[in-house]
Structure 1
């Protein structure tokens, strides 16, 4: 992508800035000349890179005063990036919805009241309807946004996308962009990812054996294909959207790897497991509190389509610097080492 050019005096507000995606974006924005960044989260992180280059505001989107306080921060800004999304506690859907749905509603009202001209919203691969996960048949941004009905995460993303539809109709003067990334990884988010997906059924010594190539066979649901994206690559996509004041939806992902390619990374061979059986096992282990990943997250991982990133490449000049294979290696190393950020991540994208 072309070198980012900061507009003198330009101000961007990043909501949910301390999380996985926000950390990657802040690393990118701190290198943009003349860019002033206001960052919003519930508990500001310590003033260490990349968080030290932003002006922080402690705001809880679930509080009654959230809209008023956001208006105060948004007023005079050129753009707002909404990254705030609760993924925990996964067993309390009502608590997550207070942030994901009610919080988004408060943020949209604050954008309208403050006169901000550009809104960039972090949606997700999980917003898309099911499709065969075929690397030869990726879907573009026109694919139906009806989500995975058994996933609370997906259902909330759909509600938020529909809220954005209404906001765009009622506020045509605001440029609205939606970023739909696949699973976002970085070493510093490994502990949060482990909390979201693992549990007693997946002990860390087992992961170390995987990393070291000491497990020859690995069970994989039939038809498994995965795409990852590194948080810094996603941050560059957000920055390019901000620079161009882009509108519309953008798929953001690295290359797609099938089961044979994925297991080859750990020196193993895949053992195909029927999809319905794999889902039933995940659901049972989740109910037994042996696995942190719910069956809803399983659906997002294996039912959503492979994404075509042609629009981002053409209109934003974007391309990932880190491929899915390298991103998986970074994540696995981070989980084994229990790597984390100074501030607990609120969202994984």
Structure 2
């Protein structure tokens, strides 16, 4: 089985490449990204790398996907949040280009990254929801609009086996510096995120979220490629986290902060371009449903190997170390390739480097 992975150099992509390489049913892996990784990344036996841009007017996706049995589509752009048209071109229109190229080239399996953000706001009683919960997103955030927009491709292409993965927040050590750049920007000194150094963390009322280690999510992607499944899968680990859990991990007390005050502060900082995360994203997070991952456990035989606390602790450790990997998205703190404490994304054998025409 030949599998093509788009967005293969990011947080999810590097882990998915590693998980696929361990499955004997997969004979050939092509990793595609706008910027190829540096030496030492993606060392899985038999992996080939191709440059590819999914944006409208970008690469020849037919050339990339021709002969593929399965495609894992992970390419995504979180910024610039001040220009939602640019992210829409990549995330919505670019994804549709990938999906349509899959259909033209008779790709039998498409597994793509949906998100908890695709869901409509959760029930008021906070109960976890399964995959039947409506997927209208939250209209005030570009990220949730874009994820919800892509949810209907299966209905238009019933002959293709389409799987939509809907994970919670994905964390691993090597992605810490990337996530700091995407969401916090320069206002978060990474070396301060150490137990005992911060006296307090804001306890935003109503904030609850679910976390999953990226490697565990990657194993679910691998299973979805090789098993005869289709449709959406929620992916989360226990326990559900909140501001109190973050405070306990940092040995800091929690200071209550109304959601409206947190939004006002974030909005002011965003307008001044001090932080990259838009206030609409906080609005969306406060409305996210809690997810039930029972379908993934039953249909994929999937059991996460890390608790949510372990995944978040690893992320915090990565922040303190300025950790990363030798790819453009995962560059460590200060732009260092890998940063302090960096890890190889797959830990496997030698890589075949192929600069294709796409």
- TM beyond 0.5: yes
Distance 1:133 1:225, change over 3 A: farther
- For 1:49 and 1:19, locate their aligned partners in 2 and report how far apart those are by CA, in whole Å: 11
Counterpart mapping for 1:54-133 below 5 A? 54-64=47-57, 66=59, 69-131=60-122
Range that drifts further, 78-87 or 55-64: 55-64
Matched, 1:206 2:192: yes
Contact 2:6 2:74 in 1 (8 A): yes
Contact 2:79 2:276 in 1 (8 A): no
Q: Deviations over 1:263-297 (max 9, x none)?
A: 21222232221112211111111112222221122
Q: Deviations over 1:117-155 (max 9, x none)?
A: 111110111111112587x61111111101111111111
Matched, 1:307 2:300: no
Q: Paired residue for 2:170?
A: 184
Contact 1:45 1:342 in 2 (8 A): yes
- For 1:201 and 1:75, locate their aligned partners in 2 and report how far apart those are by CA, in whole Å: 45
Any stretches of 5+ residues in structure 2 without a counterpart?
331-358
How far off its partner does 1:65 sit?
5.0
Q: Paired residue for 1:227?
A: 210
Q: Deviations over 1:186-238 (max 9, x none)?
A: 1111111001111343333432xxx2223343212102212111111010000
- For 1:260 and 1:327, locate their aligned partners in 2 and report how far apart those are by CA, in whole Å: 16
- For 2:3 and 2:9, locate their aligned partners in 1 and report how far apart those are by CA, in whole Å: 15
- For 1:133 and 1:342, locate their aligned partners in 2 and report how far apart those are by CA, in whole Å: 43
- For 1:230 and 1:133, locate their aligned partners in 2 and report how far apart those are by CA, in whole Å: 27
Q: Paired residue for 2:139?
A: 149
Aligned-residue RMSD, C-alpha: 1.9
Contact 1:133 1:304 in 2 (8 A): no
Q: Deviations over 1:238-265 (max 9, x none)?
A: 0111110310000111121233333212
- For 2:243 and 2:124, locate their aligned partners in 1 and report how far apart those are by CA, in whole Å: 11
- For 1:345 and 1:299, locate their aligned partners in 2 and report how far apart those are by CA, in whole Å: 26
Range that drifts further, 89-98 or 116-125: 89-98
SS of the residue corresponding to residue 142 of structure 1 reads coil
Q: Paired residue for 2:6?
A: 15
SS of the residue corresponding to residue 218 of structure 1 reads strand
Structure 2 residue corresponding to 1:298, chosen from 273, 282, 305: 282
- For 2:66 and 2:186, locate their aligned partners in 1 and report how far apart those are by CA, in whole Å: 47
Q: Paired residue for 1:282?
A: 266
Contact 2:202 2:243 in 1 (8 A): no
Q: Paired residue for 1:343?
A: 327
SS of the residue corresponding to residue 81 of structure 1 reads strand
Distance 1:273 1:320, change over 3 A: same
Distance 1:118 1:286, change over 3 A: same
Q: Paired residue for 1:258?
A: 242
- For 1:81 and 1:322, locate their aligned partners in 2 and report how far apart those are by CA, in whole Å: 23
What is the number of residues matched between the two proteins? 327
Matched, 1:137 2:127: yes
- For 1:188 and 1:176, locate their aligned partners in 2 and report how far apart those are by CA, in whole Å: 29
Distance 1:110 1:265, change over 3 A: same
